[in-house]
Structure formats: C-alpha cells, structure tokens
Amino acid sequence: MTRPQASATPCPVMRTVDLVGDRWTLLILRDAFDGPRRFGQFQRSLGIAKNILSDRLAGLVAAGILRTEPAADTTAYLAYTLTEKGRDLFDVVIALRQWGERHAFAPGEEYRPLIDQTTGDPLQRLAYTRPDGSPVRPDETAVGEPRLIGAVAL
C-alpha cells in the first residue's frame, strides 16, 4: 500500500477516505478509541500481519491521527494514542457501529454494544442534528459549488 495522503481533490469525502478508507485502518481506529494500545495489542485484537499493521500505523502517525508515547507500564514499549484530530474521527466510528447494529445482525444474534457510561446502558440510536437541534435528512442536502475553507463556519 502506498502511504496514504490527502489528494488535491476539492471533495472532503475523498480526502478523508484517502486517509482512513481502508479496512485495517478503520479497525485500528476502532481499537484506538478504547485507549492507548501497543503494537502487540493491535496485532492480537485484529489478527493482522505485522508488516500490514506496521504500514497502517505509520500512515496514521504520518497523517497526525495517531501519535506514539511511552507505554504506561514503564517497559520500553511505545503506545499508540489518538491525537485530537484522531479523536475527532469518533463520528465515523459511531456511524459505522450503529449502522452495523441496525443492518448487519439477525434478530437474536449477540453483539457488543457501545455503553453510555453515564447510565451503563447501551447507547440509543444517535442522530445528526443541526446546531438548532433539527435533524438532517439525505434528501435535504446537495453538493454545492466550490467555496474557500474558512469562508464559512464549519
């Protein structure tokens, strides 16, 4: 795999997909949201070949999504942890997770839910809302003409 990098496209979807739109990369991000992880922990969780894991981790560090820090256990190992930019991918992981809960299981199958730590219960379905609280439907949106980043509040 060539090192991922954001292309010159003016499409924000494609730029993000160029950085994280890969099966292993998305699963590494999922694990990283559980807290700092060492190389071997990713490897055991994912059953991934070392060279592929090494490649994907290097790509995420180069993109500023993960950074390395000394592992908490005072061994010589490094831990990979999400940067602020990486933590901001939470919506992507939630969106993948909740679609899976709705559409990729049969009734009665077991799944591992995301828990709301304030209540201990599985998170109810989350909804995207505008700043004014109204929900957004796909058919209410369209791709517009190119604009300058920074020209509007995002």
Question: For residue 137, how many C-alpha atoms fall within 13 Å in the half-sphere facing its CB?
Answer: 2
Answer for the pair 56, 30: CB distance below 8 angstroms, yes or no: no
Which of 2, 3, 21, 49 touches a copy of itself by CB under 8 A? Answer: 21
Q: How far is the CB of 70 from a copy of itself (least distance, A)?
A: 21
Residues touching a copy of itself: how many (CB under 8 A)?
82
CA-closest candidate to residue 67, choices 83, 87, 85:
83
Answer for the pair 70, 80: CB distance below 8 angstroms, yes or no: no
- Residue 76 makes contact with a copy of itself by CB under 8 A: no
Maximum Cα–Cα distance across the chain:
53
Count the Cβ atoms, other than its own, within 10 Å of residue 154. Answer: 6
Contacts of a copy of itself in 109-148 (CB under 8 A): 109-118, 121-131, 133, 136-138, 140-148
- Residue 23 makes contact with a copy of itself by CB under 8 A: yes
Answer for the pair 56, 2: CB distance below 8 angstroms, yes or no: no
- Residue 6 makes contact with a copy of itself by CB under 8 A: yes
Q: How far is the CB of 64 from a copy of itself (least distance, A)?
A: 8
Answer for the pair 7, 1: CB distance below 8 angstroms, yes or no: no
- Residue 13 makes contact with a copy of itself by CB under 8 A: yes
Listed ranges 36-44, 52-60, 68-76, 83-91: which one lies at the site for a copy of itself (CB under 8 A):
83-91
- Residue 47 makes contact with a copy of itself by CB under 8 A: no
Q: How far is the CB of 76 from a copy of itself (least distance, A)?
A: 28
